[in-house]
Amino acid sequence: MKYGIVAFPSKEVQDFANGYRMRYDSHYAQIPPHITLRGEVETDEVGLKEVANRLFDVTKNAKAFHISIPKVGTFKPINNVIYLKVDADEALYDLNKALHVEEFGGPAQYQYVPHITLAQGITADELEDIYGQLRMTQINFSEEIDRIHLLYQLENGSWTVYETFRLQKG
């Protein structure tokens, strides 16, 4: 089984994202809009329980973080992905770093770019069209995130919450 660690934004941000994801994100039905903190890692039932215990320890010393979402971005030419750009304070980057150690599956594969995916699995032409449209859209979200979620993947490919953790450091 695979697990991942995410933060879910507010309903307002999720509703905005889903307006695009419904049409342009091939993973729309598998997981709600989210900020990935730790990407997929393979484990078993015992490993998942160990990860939950470690995550509880990490979140005892982790602060809530503030995010603002001022615009869209894209990973082109590497991937045909359009996303909401997430600007965050240092607490998010500290948390991401704490989740990329050996106990959680090892170091990160890429430099961390906090984001919420709007479109993926699209053609280059679709990317240009959608991205051009979204760049003209006024985007301005701002909020505090005080909990994260350990997810695991079901056999049908969808993700579900295993446990939720409050970021406890004042």
Rounded to whole angstroms, how far apart are CA atoms 4 and 160? 10
Which of 27, 34, 100, 149 is catalytic? The answer is 34
Residue that has been written with the tokens 């979200």 in this structure:
141
Q: Which residues contact 147 (CB under 8 A, 6 or more apart)?
A: 7, 164, 165, 166, 167
Is 27 one of the annotated active-site residues of the chain?
Answer: no
Which of 27, 66, 115, 149 is catalytic? The answer is 115
Is 115 one of the annotated active-site residues of the chain?
Answer: yes
Catalytic residues: 34, 115
